[in-house]
Amino acid sequence: MNTKFLVYAALMTAIIAVMGLIPAIPLPFMPVPIVLQNVGIFLAGILLGRKYGALSVIVFLLLVMVGAPLLSGGRGGFGVFLGPTAGYLVMYAVSAFLIGWVRDLQFEKLSFGRIFIIILIFGVILLDTVGAIVMAFVIHMPISKALWLSLTFLPGDLIKAVIASLIAVALYKNPVTSRIMKQMAA
């Protein structure tokens, strides 16, 4: 592993953690809040690729697991991985990996539209679906109801996907950052 790329992964971990300072929006009808940290997960995969993007998210999750209060609302500790948000948290790493994997395969063809679709499929649809299914099991709710309730996240997640896509396109257009990101795809 390249030291420079490990530093980028650590910086992304820090960015995701800082996004946790933005308070979550609690929902009265379900135990999973609306958070901004998804943008960091999307950016980890799309900017750093599968290896370093997933690594940055895994480090973030390990810090949360050992008790660092890095999740929105200052939450942290092993207990959050046993509660209703467990599926969403585990899917953070999976989503970053899958977004990065497709990004690495499609690097030369990336555009706003492609980036948005990649994030939409792996960062919004897959993350929210698996997260809702796990939440259903944890709180003993019918899966159909959990999936229906998870649609609450869709408008905000679409906005977050657009924001992440715009940031990624801006960085891909810069020759210096584009060269670095291309090296990370190798």
Q: What is the pLDDT of residue 182?
A: 87
The pLDDT value given to residue 100? 97
Please choose, from the candidates 69, 18, 15, 6, the residue with its C-alpha nearest in 3D space to the C-alpha of residue 44. Answer: 15
Contact (CB, 8 A) for 83 and 138: yes
CATH entry, 3-185, from 1.10.1740.10, 1.10.1760.20, 3.40.50.970, 3.30.230.10: 1.10.1760.20
Per-residue pLDDT tens for 35-90?
A: 999 999 999 999 999 999 999 999 999 999 999 999 998 999 999 999 999 999 99
The answer on pLDDT for 20 being more than 90 is: yes
Tell me the average pLDDT of the chain.
96
What is the predicted pLDDT for the residue at 108?
A: 86
% helix, strand, coil for the chain, step of 5: 75, 5, 20
DSSP single-letter state for residue 81:
G
**Residue 94 pLDDT class (50, 70, 90 cuts):** very high
What are the residue ranges spanned by the domains of the chain? 3-185
Average pLDDT over residues 150-169: 97
Rounded to an integer, what distance in angstroms lies between the CA atom of residue 178 and that of residue 142?
Answer: 45
Cβ contact 12:47 at 8 Å: yes
According to DSSP, the residues that pair with 25 across neighbouring strands are 34
